[in-house]
Amino acid sequence: MKKFSTRTIVIYALLTAMTMVATYAVKIPTVATEGYVNPGDAVLLFAGVAFGPFAGFLAGGVGSCLADLAAGYSHWIFPTFVIKGAEGFLAGLLFLAFRRMKLNKHMNAALSIVPPAFLMVLGYFIASTIMKGSAATALLSVPANCLQATFGVVLSFVLLFGLGKIKGFSSLVGKNYYFDYPGKGKKSASLLTETTENTRKDSDKKKESTDLAEKN
């Protein structure tokens, strides 16, 4: 079993709660979807990119389900869990995959959040087709879901870029992927710290050797 630190558990819980609140508290009802457009996707995409696939899945799946339950859309809980959970998970998975290519982190983020957001549109189209028994009826929900996907992509990128500008934010949240991103030709904060520590140790060893030689 993977062990999670207290800080990690708290962050995952906060991201899940934030997804629930963003989905439930800020909503624009849409007739076509019999639901509502909301900024919840922005939070779960942010969670996946910044804290990894599991964080994205938890925030998206559980947070969005709780919002559906609170809003009276209990019949959508299972589809939402699968679709929104997959959306957050895929965002994190893509970011880690692209990270190995050493792309600029902003480009990486953009490439990682756009496909999952529009996968959500496809997911709800399929779910709506099954639940309503008509692809033509389900097709009416696509424009509103595309609007939500676009809104989620833009807002999640704003969150990533904005929080990344806050000095010390990376240290505050602990282990993450976006805010500690090494980037092309750059060292991450953790690697830089490790290098500095190793340099200091080597310097201390040389000093000890010099002192010992002088005594002899």
85-112 per-position pLDDT tens digit: 999 999 999 999 988 887 788 889 999 9
What average pLDDT does this structure show over 61-68? 94
Max distance between CA atoms of the chain, in angstroms, equals 91
pTM of this structure: 0.78
Region of 99 on the Ramachandran plot (φ > 0 left; ψ -120 to 50 alpha; else beta): alpha
Q: Helix (H, G, I), strand (E, B), or coil: what is residue 85?
A: helix
Could you tell me if 59 and 44 are in contact, meaning their C-beta atoms sit under 8 angstroms apart? yes
Q: What is the pLDDT of residue 186?
A: 44
CA distances from 96 to 81, 196, 200 (A): 22, 26, 31
Kindly tell me if the per-residue pLDDT of 131 is higher than 50.
Answer: yes
Total number of residues shown for the chain: 216
